[in-house]
Amino acid sequence: MIKKIAFFTLAVCISLLGATYRWADSAHSIGLIKASGGEARHPSSVESGKTTYTLISTATVMPPYHGDARVVLEGDPEMDYRIYSSDPVIDFGIRRHPRFRDNILYDLQPKDRIALWVVMKPPVLDPVCGMAYQEGFTKHNSNGKDYFFCSVECREKFIANPWIYRGREYVRGKYTLAFYDTKTEKPVLRVPLIFTGKGEMKDAGEHHH
Amino acid sequence: MPANTTTKKSFLVRYRYWIMLFAALLFLPPLSFLFQFTADSNFCGSWCPRMFFSWRKGMTGGEYLFGFLRSYMGVALVFGILGSTFFFGRYWCSHLCPIGGTMEGGSRILPKFLKINYSGIPASSFRYGYFAVFLIAPAVGLGSLCCNYCNFATVPRIVGAAFSPGDMAYFLRTAGLINLGLVVGLGFIAKGGRAYCNLLCPIGALDALSNRLGLRFGKRISVDGARCNGCNACAKVCPTWSIEMKEKKAEIDQLSCMPCGECEKVCTKEAIHYGKLAR
């Protein structure tokens, strides 16, 4: 009996940890695609400082909208990203569903549900001026970590006061996964994704559903 | 292990692996055949069998019911499973579940020395500890286990990753890798391949209750105490470690048993049968 209680308690503790802890490199957003601009349920957030992030963007098409939508990740500085759709490997053509090719969702119809996986690789920034890494940047090693600078001035500012700039080499702030109708070029959904600093993520436990 | 070859076993016992393989082919990539009837490609969407019954804090009754509508195939699946289990035992789990089947099949292919034996864990206690948090955590706003930790999302994508970068993307994040670890650790390299099913599957937790509640009305695997000689052969092969020797007789825990018939196959005394339990 004691063993059973102990394992029940252990399961509760592990599961509580699992339910409350939020992995900082991925987020899930739920949205409604509408002709009037669409709705995302809440801004998703991830913690800056990782090399790769994933945004899972699911959305339902609300009537009367129908059409094709181009999907773009917007934000400054520009980020390297790839978008994938969860489509069957072998399509038997049993039911019509939207197709995703070259970042465009073709043939969206009312009540369609889409699920996109956006894999993002943010650039490394010059921690002083915030410029995204380009060829020709100079490297400086501080406390075993490499930093990259656009100019000698930035590097010297950093060397003089490194504690001010540390952490600023990572992308921060708001990005948007935007869906534009290809005919009107008007947005039909905008999903905000916020890159926060360490410990600033508020929504522990994803509001998934 | 001496196999019991005295009597011919039922079709469902003899061809269980083939049925599991057939079910996996129907549900999993590259065919994902059944999902295509509802314009889906996997369990995530209208086939989700887990999210609809989870109540989130702040949800209105209408939103809760809308979840049932959104996952209508998942709802049908779960109620179908619970109903069939009540009368016939957990055939979904033992024969049809493409997730449990894939994990068990994978475990059977892998060599013995890789396997972890979880039979020391009292399965029901752990399972309902997990299930309690599965239900309560979202209801009080602490967070959610469903979606974040889900083998119904993971296993199809492990298979699909070989064909589709969309499925591969699932694993390019910490949560994906944790899920992969759980499926491998509690499935593919678990002795019997069913530790995930037995400890962490919410459908399994509900199904086990239906199995237990329908005991008086339905058919189950049972042990004939007069024939059992307590050799322990059945307990050794049980993938859900639901057989225990009590006073040198095998006893089945109906909260964990599924009618896979592995025990029936090895019982040289013909003491294990599937049928209505003697009252």
Instruction: Give yes or no for A145 touching B (CB within 8 A).
Output: no
Going by pLDDT thresholds of 50, 70 and 90, the confidence category of residue B8 is confident
pLDDT at B93: 97
Encode pLDDT of B35-52 as tens digits.
999 999 999 999 999 999
> Is the pLDDT at B11 greater than 60, yes or no?
yes
Encode pLDDT of A166-175 as tens digits.
989 999 999 9
> Is the pLDDT at A204 greater than 90, yes or no?
no
Going by pLDDT thresholds of 50, 70 and 90, the confidence category of residue A206 is very low
Least CB–CB distance from A206: residue in B54, B148, B173: B148
Contacts of B50 in chain A (CB under 8 A): none
Least CB–CB distance from A11: residue in B39, B129, B166: B129
Percent of chain B predicted with pLDDT > 90: 93
Tell me the mean pLDDT in the region B95-100. Answer: 98
Going by pLDDT thresholds of 50, 70 and 90, the confidence category of residue B2 is low
Q: How far is A25 from chain B (nearest CA, A)?
A: 6
- Closest Cα in chain B to A12: B129
Which numeric CATH code is attached to A25-122+172-196? 2.60.40.2310
Tell me the mean pLDDT in the region A131-154. Answer: 93
Tell me, what DSSP letter sits at residue B1? -
Least CB–CB distance from A19: residue in B127, B144, B172: B144
Domains along chain B with CATH numbers: 11-213 (no CATH), 220-276 (3.30.70.20)
Write the ipTM: 0.93
Tell me the mean pLDDT in the region B244-252. Answer: 93
- Asked if B44 lies within 8 A of A86 by C-beta distance, the reply is yes
Q: Where are the domains of chain A?
A: 25-122+172-196, 124-169
> Is the pLDDT at B96 greater than 50, yes or no?
yes
Encode pLDDT of A67-91 as tens digits.
999 999 999 999 999 999 988 999 9
Tell me the mean pLDDT in the region B103-120. Answer: 96
Least CB–CB distance from B42: residue in A15, A26, A86: A86
Instruction: Residue window 82-101, chain A: list those with CB within 8 Å of chain B.
Output: 82, 84-92, 94-97
